[in-house]
Structure 1
Amino acid sequence: MNLRKGPGTSYSKIRQLNKPESYVVWAEKDGWLNLGDEQWVKDDPSYVKLSKKSTVDSSIVGKRVVSKVNNLRFYDAPSWRNKDVAGSVDTGLGFTIDAKVNVNGSPQYKVHNSKGKTYYIKTSEAYVYVVK
């Protein structure tokens, strides 16, 4: 299942989505689902299980997640793999939260930096806190 830059196959492919990734759907258009930040996937029931319930914890969206430790890794994709590590943040630094996603049974925050670039970071309170 391809993640695309717009609602149609004419838009460029961003990357491949794999099981068991899960996302919040922000909008639907012409049979396509928007996963935020101009990321779209075809609403194909043979690949996509769409649950029409509110799974977004709106109490965290727009808030900052801040690292409690030095060298906390963050990722380019919803992943725990070393090859997807984008960098690390030190104590007191963080990102703005867009959503909470499930990655192989463990949660990550989908976040963005001040330039709008999307990343993923762990949610464990041992490593991060959310600024209320």
Structure 2
Amino acid sequence: MRQLNKPEAYQVWEEKDGWLNLGGEQWVKYNPAYIRFEKQESVNPIVGKRVGSKVDNLRFYDTPSWQDSAVAGTVDSGEGFTIDEKVSVNGSPQFKVHNSKGRTYYMTASEAFVYVK
């Protein structure tokens, strides 16, 4: 448990049952007497949704790349990440994503290999 200090500002990834998710498993109780929460409508409706793999051994990357040297690991069918944004890498779409620990990765956005929910 930790205390947030007055000048600190955070991006809120999710609002649920009076709690604000600051990334990963970090949650803070929303009390308007102490916290100013400015909701901004997402420009992209996929932001914050989950992308899951339709196949086993789908590669994900440390950087926006398709190169073998950038491969961070693989996910199996049903596994995935939370979407931060959609990007174009050499003309092909990737999702910039993060895992439950807040670590950023990139993976294909091709509907042949992934689904969004």
Q: TM-score, structure 2 length as denominator?
A: 0.63
The one-character-per-residue Cα deviations of 1:91-112 (angstroms, maximum 9, x if unpaired) are: 0000000000111111100000
Once residues 113 and 103 of structure 2 are traced to their aligned partners in structure 1, the CA distance between those partners, rounded to angstroms, is 21
8 A contact 1:57–1:99 mirrored in 2: no
Q: Which runs of 5+ in 1 are unaligned?
A: 1-55
The one-character-per-residue Cα deviations of 1:53-87 (angstroms, maximum 9, x if unpaired) are: xxx85210000000000000000000000000000
Q: Structure 1 vs Structure 2: percent identity of aligned residues? A: 70
Q: Does 2:52 align with 1:66?
A: yes
Q: Which runs of 5+ in 2 are unaligned?
A: 1-41
| SS of equivalent to 1:83 | helix
Once residues 108 and 57 of structure 1 are traced to their aligned partners in structure 2, the CA distance between those partners, rounded to angstroms, is 17
Q: Does 2:107 align with 1:115?
A: no
Q: 1:67 to 1:57 in 2, by over 3 A?
A: farther
Map 1:1-132 to 2 at 5 A. 58-131=44-117
The one-character-per-residue Cα deviations of 1:20-49 (angstroms, maximum 9, x if unpaired) are: xxxxxxxxxxxxxxxxxxxxxxxxxxxxxx
Q: 1:57 to 1:88 in 2, by over 3 A?
A: farther
Once residues 127 and 57 of structure 1 are traced to their aligned partners in structure 2, the CA distance between those partners, rounded to angstroms, is 24
Q: Indicate the residue corresponding to 2:27 in structure 1.
A: none
Runs in 1 of length 4+ with deviation above 4 angstroms? none
8 A contact 1:67–1:93 mirrored in 2: yes
The amino acid across from 2:68 in the alignment is N
Once residues 106 and 94 of structure 1 are traced to their aligned partners in structure 2, the CA distance between those partners, rounded to angstroms, is 19
User: How many residues are matched?
Assistant: 78
The amino acid across from 1:115 in the alignment is K
